[in-house]
Structure 1
Amino acid sequence: MRKTAALVAFTAAAFAFNAPAQAQDMAGKVQVKVMGTAVLPDGNLKEVKFVSDDIAAALPAEFNTKADNNYVPTLAVEYFLTNDLSVETICCVTQHNVEGTGGLDGAKLVDDARIIPATLTAKYHLPLGLPIKPYIGAGATYWFVFNEKPGSTAKALGVADTDIKDGFGAVLQAGFDVPLNEKFGLTFDAKKYFIDRTASFYDANDTLVLKTKHDLDPWLLSAGISYAF
């Protein structure tokens, strides 16, 4: 998937360099982007913060976790403060499962965790005078996590409920826009998130039996169309 996204971006860039440059005054304009996004999280286990005796007896000496990938539509809205500076917010809803690796290889730990990664970045558009318009950016994100459920393996160990905490993180961004005319264009974007989340597992009596911390740190790779007004 990552190789395919890179090939598409490279091909678009090659065509853009052969296209006529279109100087645009973007200051004060709004640009809306509709994109397809690959959400590629890590999910690596960072810390076991608490484990009950019963759960500890069922866990192997060494294990880890991973979250699966997802592919979702994404909406971005960007406001240009000047030709070169803008702020952008994006939003999507993505769904992931968490499985075990190592000694827990294939274990189903969390199902159907849905995430809204509300994100705000400040972007600098490099004034290169080229048809392709690259940019870099950085900002903050707040993840709303809901609908998470214990996976089948966790249920077999007596887990009846799972809670993954909402919280803040940071994000770096890079990409480029390819104007097609004064209003429409193509857009390619990559974001790297830096965020840890804590997962708590409870038994049928609502007693905490396991609490873990995970590096999610996903890549969001997006491509789509833009409309400026």
Structure 2
Amino acid sequence: MRHISRTIIAPALALACGLGTSPAMAQDAGDIQVKVLATAVLPDGKITDAPLLGPLPATTQTAANDNVVPTVAIEYFFSPNISLETICCVTQHDVDVVAGPLTGAEAVSNARVIPATFTLKYHLNPGGVSPYVGAGPTYFIWIKDEPGAQTIPLGVTRQSLSNELGLALQAGLDVPVGENLLVSLDAKRYFVDTTARWFAGNTKVIETEHKLDPWVLSAGVGFRF
């Protein structure tokens, strides 16, 4: 696992192990749980298809940078074992060329995405140290993206990333540390793509399809109401 994920997960894991003997929380249908998390977003960004490379060499390949962002997760319990969770965050990424003659060039700058996600979760051992698994749909909404500086000399004036529907798989661990307080470790793997398009005026000059498929690793605290 990358260094950025160890920075987020390791301290919380130590805290969870140290506090795991605290009294268990009650967990009932109708409970609402809110988690405040530090989240490492580790996307791929690889080009999987290039319908229109335009001035780019055929050997061009890209990767997106990692980021750490604050996240809020809101969860509703239908029963002690079954819940529905959604998350709220915005994460920013650049996409750089990592293979081909343009290696090191920035292709996409300051791309910001809302990963609108709902997961249906199953909790083992509710009320105690509780592992869980989940799955559900996600919709990546790009609210801002700009052409990278090195694409401007190619005649690019604007750039866009397509909003796309995908799937999220989830696993994690909730450790009670008080009657209504817990420490949480969470891992999600997203499966979602996007199509990137670069324009010179109104003319599309480059179009590439990218695999995003980020790992999203979180650690933080939760409160139950």
Name the TM tier (shorter chain): over 0.9
1:27, distance to aligned residue in structure 2 (A): 1.9
In 2, distance between residues paired with 1:13 and 1:20?
A: 10
Q: Is the 8 A contact 2:173 2:186 kept in 1?
A: yes
Give unmatched runs, 5+ long, in structure 2: none
1:13, distance to aligned residue in structure 2 (A): 4.2
Over residues 204-223 of structure 1, what are the superposed CA-to-partner deviations in whole Å (9 max), with x where a residue is unaligned? 2x100011000000011111
Q: Is the 8 A contact 2:16 2:183 kept in 1?
A: no
Query: Is structure 2 residue 42 aligned with structure 1 residue 40?
Result: yes
Indicate which of 80, 84, 88 corresponds to 1:83.
80
Q: Is the 8 A contact 2:25 2:180 kept in 1?
A: no
In 2, distance between residues paired with 1:132 and 1:12?
A: 13
In 2, distance between residues paired with 1:40 and 1:51?
A: 26
Q: 1:87-106 residue pairs with structure 2 within 5 A?
A: 87-103=84-100, 104-106=102-104
**What corresponds to 1:201 in structure 2?**
198
In 1, distance between residues paired with 2:58 and 2:160?
A: 24
The size of the alignment, in residue pairs, is: 221
Amino acid at match of 1:62: T
In 1, distance between residues paired with 2:58 and 2:155?
A: 20
1:14, distance to aligned residue in structure 2 (A): 2.6
**What corresponds to 2:118 in structure 1?**
120
1:92, distance to aligned residue in structure 2 (A): 0.4
**What corresponds to 2:51 in structure 1?**
49
Q: Is the 8 A contact 1:16 1:132 kept in 2?
A: no
TM-score where L is the length of structure 1: 0.91
Give unmatched runs, 5+ long, in structure 1: none
What is the alpha-carbon root mean square deviation over aligned residues? 1.6
In 2, distance between residues paired with 1:105 and 1:170?
A: 31
In 2, distance between residues paired with 1:26 and 1:15?
A: 26
Indicate which of 3, 11, 16 corresponds to 2:6.
3
User: Among the aligned pairs, what percent are the same residue?
Assistant: 45
Runs of 4+ in 1 over 6 A off after TM superposition: none
**What corresponds to 1:226 in structure 2?**
222
